[in-house]
Amino acid sequence: MTSLPTEIADRLKRTPDGLVPAVVQQHDTGEVLMLAWMDDEALHRTLTTGRATYWSRSRGEYWVKGETSGNPQLVKEVRLDCDGDTLLVKVDQVGVACHTGARTCFDDGLLSG
């Protein structure tokens, strides 16, 4: 069982598999870096360690951003949206955020504009 405080856990609206999307943003520029997923335990670890921790849907395990890549996300604040179904994680990104080596996961994704 998670150690996430009840007052936070009760506000979360999770997907059927217990996850909440986390939009990750550079704290000082507002740049959107990536989208990841958190369950209660990942959120608890993020809030208590100050290191962004996510649930990998493809690997079925927790991962701390930067633990293997050397590009950590140092958490500045975490916010919950008004509906309780999306997290905003403001970080200080060290190095690149995307596994492809791009600064953000959205660098090569322009569809319009």
Q: What is residue 25's predicted lDDT score, i.e. its pLDDT?
A: 98
pLDDT grade for 109, boundaries at 50, 70 and 90: confident
Domain ranges of the chain: 6-93
* Strand order across the 87-93 sheet: 32-38, 20-26, 87-93, 73-80
pLDDT tens for each residue of 55-72: 999 999 999 999 999 999
Integer-rounded Cα Rg, in Å, for the chain is 14
The DSSP result for 46-85, as a single string, is HHHHSB-EEEETTTTEEEETTTTTS--EEEEEEEE-TTSS
Best CATH choice for the domain 6-93 from the list 3.10.20.810, 3.30.1600.10, 3.30.1490.20, 3.40.50.300? 3.10.20.810
Residues comprising the chain, all counted: 113
Q: Which residues are annotated as a binding site?
A: 81-83, 85, 98, 105
pLDDT tens for each residue of 7-52: 999 999 999 999 999 999 999 999 999 999 999 999 999 999 999 9
Q: Which residues are annotated as a binding site for Mg(2+)?
A: 81, 83, 85
Between 113 and 16, name the one with better pLDDT.
16
Q: What is residue 1's predicted lDDT score, i.e. its pLDDT?
A: 52
Contact status, residue 12 vs residue 40, Cβ threshold 8 Å? yes
Q: Which residues are annotated as a binding site for Zn(2+)?
A: 82, 98, 105
